[in-house]
Structure 1
Amino acid sequence: MDQIRINVSGNSTAQQVYNWLHGLILRGVLEPGARLSETEIAQQAGVSRQPVREAFIRLTATGLAEVRPQRGTFIGRISVKAVLSARLIREAVESDLIRMLSANAGTDVLNRLEQQLVAQRKASKAQDVETFITLDDQFHHDLAVAAGHGDVWDVLEGLKSQMNRLRHITARVFDHQKLIEQHEAIVESLHRGDGEAAEQAMRSHLREVLNDLPAITKAKPEFFTD
Structure 2
Amino acid sequence: MPIKNSRAIAPSVPVDALLATPRGRRRASAAAEPRAALPDLTESVSFDSHEPISKQIFRALREAIFAGQMVPGTPLSEKEVSDMFQVSRQPVREAFIKLVETGVLQVLPQRGTLVKRISPRKVREGRFIREAIETAVVRKAALAITDAQLQTLADNLRDQKLAAKSNDTAAFLALDEAFHYGIAQAIDCTAAWETIQDIKAQMDRVRYLSLPDVSPLDLLIRQHAKILAALRMHDAGAAEEAMRRHLREILVSLGPIAARNPDWFEADEPELVPLSV
Deviations 1:117-157 (A, max 9, x none): 10100111111111111110111111111133222111122
Aligned to 1:118: 158
Matched, 1:205 2:251: no
- The answer to whether the Cα contact below 8 Å between 1:6 and 1:45 also exists between their aligned partners in 2 is no
Aligned to 1:181: 222
- The answer to whether the Cα contact below 8 Å between 1:100 and 1:147 also exists between their aligned partners in 2 is yes
Distance 1:152 1:13 in 2: 24
Measured after TM superposition, the shift of residue 105 of structure 1 is: 2.9
Measured after TM superposition, the shift of residue 54 of structure 1 is: 4.8
Aligned to 1:44: 84
Q: Larger Cα Rg: Structure 1 or Structure 2? A: 2
Say if 1:13 and 1:122 are closer, same or farther in 2 by CA, change over 3 A: closer
Write the mapping of 1:31-180 to structure 2, written as runs, cut at 5 A.
Answer: 31-47=71-87, 51-173=91-213, 174-180=215-221
Matched, 1:195 2:236: yes
* Structure 2 residue identity aligned to 1:110: L
Distance 2:175 2:79 in 1: 35
Deviations 1:179-205 (A, max 9, x none): 000011111122222222221111110
Measured after TM superposition, the shift of residue 104 of structure 1 is: 3.5
SS of residue matched to 1:159: coil
Measured after TM superposition, the shift of residue 115 of structure 1 is: 0.7
**Percent of pairs identical after alignment?**
38
- The answer to whether the Cα contact below 8 Å between 1:217 and 1:224 also exists between their aligned partners in 2 is yes
Q: Tell me the C-alpha RMSD between the 2 structures.
A: 2.3
- Structure 1 runs not aligned, ≥5 long: none
Write the mapping of 1:211-222 to structure 2, written as runs, cut at 5 A.
Answer: 211-222=252-263
- The answer to whether the Cα contact below 8 Å between 2:40 and 2:84 also exists between their aligned partners in 1 is no
* Structure 1 residue identity aligned to 2:150: L
Say if 1:55 and 1:100 are closer, same or farther in 2 by CA, change over 3 A: closer
Distance 1:100 1:53 in 2: 39
Aligned to 2:41: 3
- Structure 2 runs not aligned, ≥5 long: 1-38, 269-277
- The answer to whether the Cα contact below 8 Å between 1:179 and 1:205 also exists between their aligned partners in 2 is yes
- The answer to whether the Cα contact below 8 Å between 1:35 and 1:75 also exists between their aligned partners in 2 is yes
Bigger relative contact order (CA 8 A; separation at least 6): 1
State the number of aligned residues. Answer: 226
Larger % of helix: which? 1
Say if 1:39 and 1:87 are closer, same or farther in 2 by CA, change over 3 A: same
Distance 1:218 1:128 in 2: 25
Say if 1:158 and 1:53 are closer, same or farther in 2 by CA, change over 3 A: closer
Write the mapping of 1:7-26 to structure 2, written as runs, cut at 5 A.
Answer: 7=47, 14-26=54-66
- The answer to whether the Cα contact below 8 Å between 2:123 and 2:203 also exists between their aligned partners in 1 is yes
* Structure 2 residue identity aligned to 1:213: L
